[in-house]
Amino acid sequence: MPNRTQHRGKPPAADELWLHGRHAVAAALANRSRTVRRLLQTEAGDAAAAARRRGIPVETVERRLLDRRFGTGAVHQGIALQCDPLPPPDLEAIAAEPGPARLLLLDRVTDPRNVGAVLRSAEAFGARAVVLPAAGAPAESAALAKAAAGALERVPLARVVNLARMLERLKAAGYWFVALDGTADLALDRLDLADRVGLVLGAEGAGIRRLVRRACDFEAAIPMSGGADSLNVAVAAGIALYEAHRQTYMGGEAAEAS
């Protein structure tokens, strides 16, 4: 039976970053840009081998220690990683790379699970980056990373001081911007999204702030039927990204306006 390192269970300190769950931990260990401090696990597995290859300490612990540290409601899957936040990406350098590109910009989205789910869709449909305002947006956390299922390590998550001003600066790199709004008269699929486009989404209910909306070139809605009048921001982001991906890489075209 393996020796188990004994710890007194305690909640994470405010300045500690812990990721947990198999996908989030494996992706963080594979990301050389991520500084990792130690790995806690309840049983040996692939993550331990990956950590040891990077010279990261591995500790085998009782499951109840992880339950105490993260709470019994956390689905930690018996594995957790102490690490540093990712270094901030250079958004303007990323945006300036040539070729068709999609950016996702989130305004007033405060739920870390929504941001994580948006990152997952961003990876699936080839978005170059997800952009958040520096103030009010959720920080890196276990909840965000778990919802992203590894995409946090692979899709740049940029934070900017002024979202409206950043839109204006990105226009100089050839981007134009669409504000997603369920009340807009223009349907999203009637826009040509196959070049360099930024999709701007707000929180369900709160929506996009006025100055950010004014910096956009168009307002467009995702056509819906039935009784729903709005979509969760992560769902809307996935649909909008798919439409841009379809037009760019799958031979699709924007619908002709009637």
What is the block-wise mean pLDDT of the chain (258 residues), using blocks of 10 residues?
Answer: 38 70 95 95 84 92 90 87 96 94 96 97 97 96 95 98 96 95 94 95 88 97 82 95 92 66
In angstroms, the CA 48 to CA 57 distance is 9
Question: What residue ranges of the chain are covered by domains with CATH 3.30.1330.30?
Answer: 17-83
Which CATH number applies to 91-249? 3.40.1280.10
> Around 74, how many Cα atoms within 13 Å sit in the side-chain half-sphere?
25
Pairing type for strands 79-83 and 36-41 reads antiparallel
Q: Under the phi-then-psi rule, with left for phi > 0, alpha for psi from -120 to 50, and beta for the rest, what region is 247?
A: alpha
Rounded CA gap, 89 and 204, in Å?
27
For the chain, residues classed under CATH 3.40.1280.10 are 91-249
Give the CATH fold of the 17-83 domain: 60s Ribosomal Protein L30; Chain: A; (3.30.1330)
CB 240 within 8 A of CB 222: yes
pLDDT value, residue 256: 59
pLDDT confidence of residue 46: 81
- Counting every residue, how long is the chain? 258
Joined tokens for residue 136: 């009010």
In this predicted structure, what is the pLDDT of residue 222? 95
